[in-house]
Amino acid sequence: MELRTNELTKKYGSKTAIDHLNVTLSNGVYGLLGANGAGKTTLMRLLCDIQTPTSGKITLDGKDILGLGEKYRALLGYLPQHFGYYPDFTAMDFIMYVAALKGLGEKQAKNKAAELLEAVDLTKESHHKIKTFSGGMKQRLGIAQAMLNNPHILILDEPTAGLDPKERVRFRNLISAFSKERIVILSTHIVSDVEFIAEEIIMMKSGRVLQFGKPQEITAEIDGYVWECTVPSNRAEQYTETLNISNLRNTENNNTVLRVIADCQPMGNAKQVPPTLEDLYLFYFKGVSKE
Protein backbone atom coordinates (compact mmCIF):
# COMPACT_ATOMS: atom_id res chain seq x y z
CA MET A 1 0.00 0.00 0.00
CA GLU A 2 1.36 3.39 -0.97
CA LEU A 3 -0.09 6.73 0.02
CA ARG A 4 1.38 9.59 -1.94
CA THR A 5 0.94 13.35 -2.02
CA ASN A 6 1.65 15.04 -5.32
CA GLU A 7 2.39 18.76 -5.21
CA LEU A 8 -0.20 18.98 -2.46
CA THR A 9 -1.08 22.56 -1.58
CA LYS A 10 -3.65 23.98 0.81
CA LYS A 11 -4.20 27.70 1.17
CA TYR A 12 -6.48 29.55 3.58
CA GLY A 13 -6.88 32.91 1.90
CA SER A 14 -3.36 34.27 1.50
CA LYS A 15 -1.86 31.86 4.04
CA THR A 16 -0.30 28.69 2.68
CA ALA A 17 -0.71 25.84 5.15
CA ILE A 18 0.68 23.10 2.90
CA ASP A 19 3.08 24.10 0.19
CA HIS A 20 3.60 21.80 -2.81
CA LEU A 21 4.16 18.79 -0.60
CA ASN A 22 5.46 15.55 -2.09
CA VAL A 23 5.74 12.58 0.24
CA THR A 24 5.33 8.87 -0.28
CA LEU A 25 4.24 6.71 2.61
CA SER A 26 4.26 2.94 2.59
CA ASN A 27 3.62 0.52 5.46
CA GLY A 28 5.21 1.74 8.69
CA VAL A 29 4.83 4.23 11.50
CA TYR A 30 5.48 7.86 10.60
CA GLY A 31 6.00 10.55 13.19
CA LEU A 32 4.99 14.01 12.12
CA LEU A 33 6.98 16.69 13.89
CA GLY A 34 6.70 20.43 13.63
CA ALA A 35 5.95 23.57 15.57
CA ASN A 36 2.42 24.96 15.82
CA GLY A 37 1.32 26.17 12.41
CA ALA A 38 3.75 23.89 10.58
CA GLY A 39 0.84 22.27 8.70
CA LYS A 40 0.69 18.90 10.46
CA THR A 41 -3.03 18.98 11.25
CA THR A 42 -3.89 20.34 7.80
CA LEU A 43 -1.87 17.55 6.18
CA MET A 44 -3.71 14.97 8.28
CA ARG A 45 -7.09 16.45 7.39
CA LEU A 46 -6.18 16.41 3.72
CA LEU A 47 -5.09 12.78 4.02
CA CYS A 48 -8.44 12.04 5.69
CA ASP A 49 -10.38 13.78 2.91
CA ILE A 50 -12.11 16.17 5.31
CA GLN A 51 -10.43 19.14 3.67
CA THR A 52 -10.04 19.65 -0.04
CA PRO A 53 -6.62 20.59 -1.39
CA THR A 54 -6.24 23.92 -3.18
CA SER A 55 -4.11 22.09 -5.73
CA GLY A 56 -2.31 18.79 -6.06
CA LYS A 57 -3.70 15.43 -5.10
CA ILE A 58 -3.38 12.45 -2.81
CA THR A 59 -3.25 8.98 -4.28
CA LEU A 60 -3.56 5.54 -2.76
CA ASP A 61 -1.79 2.97 -4.89
CA GLY A 62 -1.99 5.40 -7.78
CA LYS A 63 -5.70 6.20 -7.45
CA ASP A 64 -6.95 9.62 -6.39
CA ILE A 65 -8.52 9.27 -2.94
CA LEU A 66 -11.33 11.68 -3.92
CA GLY A 67 -12.49 9.13 -6.47
CA LEU A 68 -12.18 6.20 -4.07
CA GLY A 69 -14.75 7.66 -1.63
CA GLU A 70 -16.20 4.94 0.61
CA LYS A 71 -13.49 2.45 -0.39
CA TYR A 72 -10.81 4.82 0.89
CA ARG A 73 -12.64 5.74 4.07
CA ALA A 74 -13.16 2.03 4.83
CA LEU A 75 -9.37 1.79 5.16
CA LEU A 76 -9.09 4.86 7.35
CA GLY A 77 -8.95 5.41 11.11
CA TYR A 78 -8.64 8.93 12.46
CA LEU A 79 -8.17 10.51 15.83
CA PRO A 80 -8.59 14.26 15.48
CA GLN A 81 -6.71 16.74 17.62
CA HIS A 82 -9.96 18.00 19.13
CA PHE A 83 -12.08 14.96 19.65
CA GLY A 84 -15.83 15.63 19.74
CA TYR A 85 -18.28 13.31 21.42
CA TYR A 86 -21.89 13.09 22.59
CA PRO A 87 -21.89 13.87 26.32
CA ASP A 88 -24.94 11.72 27.05
CA PHE A 89 -23.61 8.65 25.27
CA THR A 90 -21.73 6.06 27.28
CA ALA A 91 -18.32 4.95 26.02
CA MET A 92 -19.90 1.75 24.71
CA ASP A 93 -22.72 3.63 22.96
CA PHE A 94 -20.23 5.92 21.29
CA ILE A 95 -18.03 3.05 20.14
CA MET A 96 -21.07 1.19 18.80
CA TYR A 97 -22.19 4.32 16.95
CA VAL A 98 -18.78 4.74 15.34
CA ALA A 99 -18.80 1.02 14.53
CA ALA A 100 -22.12 1.52 12.72
CA LEU A 101 -20.60 4.46 10.83
CA LYS A 102 -17.69 2.25 9.85
CA GLY A 103 -20.02 -0.47 8.63
CA LEU A 104 -19.26 -3.13 11.23
CA GLY A 105 -21.95 -5.72 11.91
CA GLU A 106 -23.46 -5.67 15.39
CA LYS A 107 -21.73 -8.83 16.65
CA GLN A 108 -18.39 -7.87 15.16
CA ALA A 109 -18.78 -4.37 16.61
CA LYS A 110 -19.49 -5.69 20.11
CA ASN A 111 -16.45 -7.97 20.06
CA LYS A 112 -14.18 -5.28 18.68
CA ALA A 113 -15.52 -2.68 21.11
CA ALA A 114 -14.86 -4.96 24.10
CA GLU A 115 -11.37 -5.75 22.80
CA LEU A 116 -10.42 -2.11 22.22
CA LEU A 117 -11.94 -0.78 25.43
CA GLU A 118 -9.86 -3.39 27.23
CA ALA A 119 -6.78 -2.31 25.27
CA VAL A 120 -7.24 1.34 26.31
CA ASP A 121 -8.19 0.37 29.88
CA LEU A 122 -11.78 1.62 29.70
CA THR A 123 -13.65 -1.65 30.24
CA LYS A 124 -14.81 -0.68 33.73
CA GLU A 125 -16.01 2.69 32.50
CA SER A 126 -17.62 1.41 29.31
CA HIS A 127 -21.12 2.10 30.62
CA HIS A 128 -20.33 5.50 32.08
CA LYS A 129 -21.40 8.65 30.26
CA ILE A 130 -18.57 10.33 28.37
CA LYS A 131 -19.32 13.65 30.05
CA THR A 132 -18.01 12.14 33.30
CA PHE A 133 -14.66 11.21 31.70
CA SER A 134 -11.35 12.96 32.33
CA GLY A 135 -9.36 14.36 29.39
CA GLY A 136 -7.12 11.28 29.33
CA MET A 137 -10.09 8.89 29.32
CA LYS A 138 -11.67 10.77 26.41
CA GLN A 139 -8.38 10.60 24.55
CA ARG A 140 -8.19 6.84 25.11
CA LEU A 141 -11.76 6.48 23.88
CA GLY A 142 -10.73 8.47 20.80
CA ILE A 143 -7.85 6.08 20.17
CA ALA A 144 -10.19 3.09 20.50
CA GLN A 145 -12.72 4.49 18.02
CA ALA A 146 -9.98 5.19 15.48
CA MET A 147 -8.89 1.56 15.54
CA LEU A 148 -12.35 -0.02 15.40
CA ASN A 149 -12.26 -1.02 11.74
CA ASN A 150 -8.68 -2.36 11.82
CA PRO A 151 -7.71 0.53 9.56
CA HIS A 152 -4.95 0.11 7.03
CA ILE A 153 -4.26 3.82 7.33
CA LEU A 154 -4.31 5.11 10.89
CA ILE A 155 -3.95 8.86 11.37
CA LEU A 156 -3.53 10.14 14.91
CA ASP A 157 -3.33 13.85 15.62
CA GLU A 158 -1.72 14.46 19.02
CA PRO A 159 -2.74 11.01 20.35
CA THR A 160 -0.75 11.28 23.57
CA ALA A 161 -2.11 14.67 24.62
CA GLY A 162 -3.60 14.32 28.10
CA LEU A 163 -2.25 10.82 28.70
CA ASP A 164 -0.23 10.13 31.82
CA PRO A 165 3.16 8.33 31.50
CA LYS A 166 1.64 4.88 32.14
CA GLU A 167 -1.05 5.45 29.52
CA ARG A 168 1.55 6.72 27.05
CA VAL A 169 3.54 3.51 27.43
CA ARG A 170 0.35 1.50 26.93
CA PHE A 171 -0.43 3.57 23.82
CA ARG A 172 3.05 3.03 22.37
CA ASN A 173 2.73 -0.72 22.84
CA LEU A 174 -0.73 -0.71 21.30
CA ILE A 175 0.50 1.13 18.21
CA SER A 176 3.60 -1.03 17.89
CA ALA A 177 1.49 -4.19 17.94
CA PHE A 178 -1.04 -2.70 15.54
CA SER A 179 1.26 -1.16 12.98
CA LYS A 180 2.35 -4.23 11.02
CA GLU A 181 1.38 -4.00 7.35
CA ARG A 182 -0.28 -0.65 7.96
CA ILE A 183 0.42 3.01 7.48
CA VAL A 184 0.33 4.80 10.82
CA ILE A 185 0.86 8.56 10.89
CA LEU A 186 0.99 10.34 14.20
CA SER A 187 1.76 13.88 15.12
CA THR A 188 2.81 15.03 18.52
CA HIS A 189 4.72 17.68 20.36
CA ILE A 190 6.13 15.01 22.63
CA VAL A 191 9.26 14.11 20.70
CA SER A 192 10.09 11.14 22.92
CA ASP A 193 6.81 9.45 21.90
CA VAL A 194 7.76 9.68 18.25
CA GLU A 195 11.28 8.55 19.04
CA PHE A 196 9.96 5.35 20.60
CA ILE A 197 7.27 4.47 18.08
CA ALA A 198 8.06 5.98 14.70
CA GLU A 199 10.16 4.22 12.14
CA GLU A 200 10.29 7.33 9.99
CA ILE A 201 10.12 10.99 10.90
CA ILE A 202 8.56 13.73 8.82
CA MET A 203 9.65 17.09 10.08
CA MET A 204 7.54 19.98 8.79
CA LYS A 205 7.88 23.72 8.78
CA SER A 206 5.67 26.26 7.00
CA GLY A 207 3.81 23.55 5.11
CA ARG A 208 6.96 21.96 3.72
CA VAL A 209 8.95 18.88 4.64
CA LEU A 210 12.26 19.80 6.27
CA GLN A 211 13.43 16.28 6.98
CA PHE A 212 12.09 12.85 6.10
CA GLY A 213 13.81 9.67 7.14
CA LYS A 214 14.69 7.28 9.92
CA PRO A 215 15.44 8.98 13.27
CA GLN A 216 19.14 8.02 13.23
CA GLU A 217 19.50 9.24 9.62
CA ILE A 218 17.93 12.63 10.17
CA THR A 219 19.63 13.26 13.49
CA ALA A 220 22.93 12.59 11.72
CA GLU A 221 22.23 15.89 9.94
CA ILE A 222 23.25 17.74 13.09
CA ASP A 223 26.22 15.61 14.07
CA GLY A 224 28.74 18.01 15.56
CA TYR A 225 26.15 20.61 16.56
CA VAL A 226 25.23 19.27 20.00
CA TRP A 227 27.40 20.02 23.01
CA GLU A 228 27.35 19.40 26.70
CA CYS A 229 29.10 21.71 29.13
CA THR A 230 29.12 22.23 32.88
CA VAL A 231 28.60 25.72 34.30
CA PRO A 232 28.02 27.08 37.80
CA SER A 233 24.29 26.90 38.58
CA ASN A 234 24.09 30.62 39.35
CA ARG A 235 25.15 31.46 35.79
CA ALA A 236 22.95 28.88 34.05
CA GLU A 237 20.07 31.30 33.52
CA GLN A 238 22.37 33.77 31.86
CA TYR A 239 23.43 31.10 29.36
CA THR A 240 19.83 30.18 28.51
CA GLU A 241 19.37 33.71 27.19
CA THR A 242 22.34 33.60 24.86
CA LEU A 243 22.59 29.92 23.84
CA ASN A 244 20.14 27.44 22.30
CA ILE A 245 19.75 25.07 25.25
CA SER A 246 17.96 21.78 24.68
CA ASN A 247 18.33 20.48 28.21
CA LEU A 248 19.51 21.60 31.60
CA ARG A 249 20.45 19.24 34.47
CA ASN A 250 21.63 20.23 37.96
CA THR A 251 24.49 18.23 39.43
CA GLU A 252 26.24 18.22 42.80
CA ASN A 253 28.57 21.06 43.82
CA ASN A 254 26.13 23.73 42.56
CA ASN A 255 26.90 22.99 38.92
CA THR A 256 24.54 22.62 35.97
CA VAL A 257 25.09 20.56 32.85
CA LEU A 258 23.81 22.37 29.76
CA ARG A 259 22.99 20.64 26.51
CA VAL A 260 23.65 23.22 23.85
CA ILE A 261 22.90 23.26 20.15
CA ALA A 262 25.43 25.39 18.38
CA ASP A 263 27.40 25.35 15.17
CA CYS A 264 30.69 25.96 17.04
CA GLN A 265 31.98 25.13 20.50
CA PRO A 266 29.94 27.37 22.83
CA MET A 267 32.56 27.41 25.62
CA GLY A 268 35.92 25.98 26.46
CA ASN A 269 34.81 22.91 28.43
CA ALA A 270 32.01 21.94 25.98
CA LYS A 271 32.14 18.39 24.61
CA GLN A 272 30.40 17.11 21.50
CA VAL A 273 27.65 14.53 22.16
CA PRO A 274 25.50 12.41 19.79
CA PRO A 275 22.34 14.30 18.75
CA THR A 276 18.83 13.13 19.61
CA LEU A 277 15.54 13.81 17.85
CA GLU A 278 14.72 16.45 20.43
CA ASP A 279 17.98 18.24 19.59
CA LEU A 280 17.05 18.11 15.92
CA TYR A 281 13.60 19.54 16.70
CA LEU A 282 15.11 22.43 18.64
CA PHE A 283 17.74 22.91 15.98
CA TYR A 284 15.04 23.58 13.40
CA PHE A 285 12.47 25.30 15.54
CA LYS A 286 14.61 27.55 17.70
CA GLY A 287 16.03 29.42 14.75
CA VAL A 288 19.55 27.99 14.59
CA SER A 289 20.57 27.22 11.06
CA LYS A 290 23.37 24.99 9.83
CA GLU A 291 24.53 27.77 7.60
Partner 1 sequence: MKNLIKFELRKILTKRFTIISIAAVLLLSFVLSFATFHNMYAFDGKSNEGSGRTAVEIDKSIAEKYEGVLTNEKIQQIMADFKPTHDLHGMNAQYLYQNAMQSAAFARFSDMNGNWNGSSISDVFGDEEIKIGYVNGWLNTSQNIARVLIALSFVIILMIAPVFSGEYSGVDNIILTSKYGKTKCTTAKIIASILSALLVTILTVAFHLMLAFVLYGTEGLDCSILFAPQEFVEGYIPFNITCGTVLKYQLILALSSAISVTGITLILSALCKSQMVTFAVSCAIYVMPIMLPIPETSPLYRIIVLMPLYHSQYISIISVEQMKNSMLYAIWAIPTAIILITFGMVISRRIFTKHQVS
Residue 99 contacts residue 109 (beta carbons within 8 Å): yes
Taking CB under 8 A as the rule, does residue 102 contact partner 1? Answer: yes
**Nearest to residue 35, comparing CAs of 289, 291, 284, 290?**
284
- Could you give the CA distance from residue 171 to residue 176 in angstroms, rounded to a whole number? 9
Contacting residue, 14, 15, 36, 84, with partner 1 by CB under 8 A: 84
Contacting residue, 4, 16, 35, 49, with partner 1 by CB under 8 A: 49
Taking CB under 8 A as the rule, does residue 133 contact partner 1? Answer: no
* Angle formed by the axes of helices 165-178 and 135-146, nearest 10°: 0
Residue number with CB closer to partner 1 (77 or 207): 77
Contacting residue, 61, 88, 241, 252, with partner 1 by CB under 8 A: 88
Residues in contact with partner 1, shown as a per-residue x/- string from 134 to 163 under the rule CB under 8 A: -----------x---x--------------
From residue 49, give the alpha-carbon distance in Å to each of 21, 43, 59, 155, 216.
16, 10, 11, 12, 32
Contacting residue, 43, 58, 60, 78, with partner 1 by CB under 8 A: 78
DSSP 90: B
In 3-state terms, what secondary structure has residue 130? helix
Taking CB under 8 A as the rule, does residue 284 contact partner 1? Answer: no
Q: Which residues form the interface with partner 1 (CB under 8 A)? A: 45, 48-52, 69-70, 73-74, 76-78, 80, 82-86, 88, 96-98, 100-103, 106, 145, 149
